[in-house]
Amino acid sequence: MTSRERWLAVLAGEKPDRIPTDIWATPETHRKLQRALGCRDEREVWKKLHIDAAVGVQPPRKVSSHPDDAKADIWGIRYRSVAYADGAGVYRECENHPLAHVRNAAEVHAFRWPRPEDCDFAAIPCLLDALPRDHVVFCGGYEPFLLYCYLRGMEQAMVDLVENEEIAEAILGHLFDYHYRVNERVCEAARGRADVFGMGEDLGAQDSLLMGLRQIRRYFLPNQKRMADMARSYGLRIFYHSDGAIRAVLPDLIAVTGIDILNPVQWRCPGMEREGLVREFGRRVVFHGAVDNQQTLPFGTPAEVRREVLDSIAIFRDARWICAPCHTLQPTTPVENIVALYETIHEHGRSGPS
């Protein structure tokens, strides 16, 4: 089977030749892997480690900055690069919150929001042609509350959901409208070539939901459903990302949003134990991820990584699983541990999900 065929078999409830795999990693980690394995690029790494990596497409933008701030992105947000403490890489940190001081919905509406027309949708066919045809293709994207927190600041964003409902609905409405119009054009341009639509929201903290179920059901699920319904109308399956302890909202994500793939399965969080998820939801969703990168991958030994992968093979034997790190691999993760992950699943994953 090709990598794409493995993914599609799992999504269809069929048995692939082996458990499919995926990888999420920072650019620094990808470069480190390439050097260590003697590979020229990411695709050579995928081939060497038997990784069925998903590939994606997004429309380029004709406009890259906000009309009121040439140094900000299209949302008016400025970022700065911050070096990791050990110097192994950098990450982006938000420097400002352009909607921090709005006091009512009228001021939200007066903000100069980005226009879908500034995306170059005509470039998508060429971008698709450049992607490998033997890998599954993602398109789209929708994670509004992350962006909301950048626009308002995280503390104020949380307060808004309880005390400033008019502001919350106005901002989330603009974010939905923009992304719906962009994603609809992307899905149309990628029709017949894309397989999966990516969306999500970080609804969980380490030990519990990040917000109440009432807020999730009011502010997020209805628009998630509308977005997912649109993507499904193009024949796409829904890949949903949410970190943390989200057990309490999983029935809603499955029944209302209608997710097909759940990522990243952080099984060390309460309620996210793999055995329980398989028992309760194994017939309804595909699990993606589940190899711990809070402890095992960054701080464990290759033997401990192998043991965890073998445990997951046994736990997910009666479910559908795409083996991957449970979040983005960081540059401090030892190469030996990453190699151990993919060598183990390649060697022992041929029983596949049933």
Helix (H) or strand (E) holding 240: strand 237-241
What local confidence, expressed as pLDDT, does residue 351 receive? 55
* pLDDT digits 0-9 by tens, 92-119: 999 999 999 999 999 999 999 999 999 9
Residues of the chain with CATH 3.20.20.210: 55-63+111-254
* pLDDT digits 0-9 by tens, 294-324: 999 999 999 999 999 999 999 999 999 999 9
Pairing relation of β-strands 90-94 and 79-83?
Answer: antiparallel
Name the pLDDT band for 123 (thresholds 50, 70, 90).
very high
Is residue 265 a contact partner of residue 272, using CB atoms and an 8 Å limit? yes
Instruction: Give me the mean pLDDT over the 341-352 stretch.
Output: 88
Task: State how far the Cα of 332 lies from the Cα of 89, in Å rounded to an integer.
Answer: 9
Mean pLDDT of the chain: 96
Residue type at 330? Q
Task: State how far the Cα of 322 lies from the Cα of 222, in Å rounded to an integer.
Answer: 28
Helix (H) or strand (E) holding 34: helix 27-37
Instruction: Give me 318's structure tokens.
Output: 């009666």
Q: Is the peptide bond before 264 cis (omega within 30 degrees of 0)?
A: yes
Q: 209 phi and psi, to 5 degrees? A: -65, 150
The burial class, CB within 10 Å (0-12 / 13-18 / 19+), for 39 is middle
Task: From residue 60, give the alpha-carbon distance in Å to each of 67, 147, 192, 194.
Answer: 18, 19, 20, 17
Task: State how far the Cα of 342 lies from the Cα of 21, in Å rounded to an integer.
Answer: 8
Task: State how far the Cα of 330 lies from the Cα of 29, in Å rounded to an integer.
Answer: 6
CATH architecture of the domain covering 55-63+111-254: Alpha-Beta Barrel (3.20)
pTM of the model: 0.96
Examine the pLDDT at 87 and tell me if it is beyond 90: no
* pLDDT digits 0-9 by tens, 140-150: 999 999 999 99
Greatest Cα pair distance in the chain: 59
Instruction: Give me the mean pLDDT over the 125-146 stretch.
Output: 96
Instruction: Give me the mean pLDDT over the 193-215 stretch.
Output: 96
Instruction: Give me 49's structure tokens.
Output: 């480690």
